[in-house]
Amino acid sequence: MTTPEGSALNTRHQPAVGAALMALIRLFASTVATRTRLLVLGLLGALGVLIAVLIRLNNDVSLVDGVDFVNDLGLSILLPLTALVLGAATFGDLRDDGTLVYLWLRPAPRWIPVVAAFLTTVGVVVPLVGVPLMAMAAITTSSNSDALIGTALSTAVGAAAYSALFVALGLRVRRHLVWGIGYILIWEGFVAGAGTNAARLAVRSHTRSLLAWATDVDLGLADSSLVAALLIPLGATVLALTYATRRFTRSDID
């Protein structure tokens, strides 16, 4: 039988959840959000803003044109690509340099590193992508309030879903960038357009649906209702994090 003194002693040997979570977030932030990655991804966002300015200066841009631009460049390319580069690297970088085993041996519940990787990715992706996307929407739609709301909402939902999916991908496969780009280009770019059922399994269709709902602009693959466009990405986020936790718990770490 465990005595109260023994229970207290065992508890002291286990790191507090909050402290362990914050320590791992700092670890992931230092390894994932490198200067090179932030510079390259930041330049991509700045390029999108520059293109938006050029479009605005040289054309009579309508609301439909502006929403199409935010969707085509921002939600379909910049958002998933940024989440892939950062999310897959959380565990992928540690596994590549052989230090993941030390994370696996930490005396903490297995879900904590997964949640820390997810929160770190979202915490970097949202400002890194959200700021240029909001600027692109403001420039090309003359700061239309519906376009700004739709851009913010779809960016937040997409960032959560993509981050969870790519964190799990980085833990599952070694060539995570190749697999991730294949998912973005092949599944979301082509397969999802083949039918409604396939589109429901693509994050892109739900971010588009949120943007279309807010702006009342017809976008391709934007077939989800507001409730589905919110709940399906949320469900995908939970499932991806659950899978990543099970994978991290049961896999052999080399």
Report yes or no on 39 lying in a domain: yes
CA-atom Rg of the chain in angstroms: 20
Residue 93: give the domain boundaries.
33-250
For the chain, give the longest Cα–Cα distance. Answer: 78
* pTM more than 0.85: yes
State the Cα–Cα distance between residues 90 and 248, nearest whole angstrom. Answer: 13
Q: What is the Cα 210 distance to its own chain's centre? A: 16
Mean per-residue pLDDT of the chain: 86
Count of residues in the chain: 254
Report yes or no on 24 lying in a domain: no
* Interval 66-98: pLDDT, tens: 999 999 999 999 999 999 999 999 888 787 777
Tally the domains of the chain.
1
Report yes or no on 123 lying in a domain: yes
Ramachandran region of residue 136, left (φ > 0), alpha (ψ -120 to 50) or beta? alpha
* Interval 172-224: pLDDT, tens: 888 888 899 988 988 887 777 666 666 777 899 999 999 999 999 998 878 88
Report yes or no on 239 lying in a domain: yes
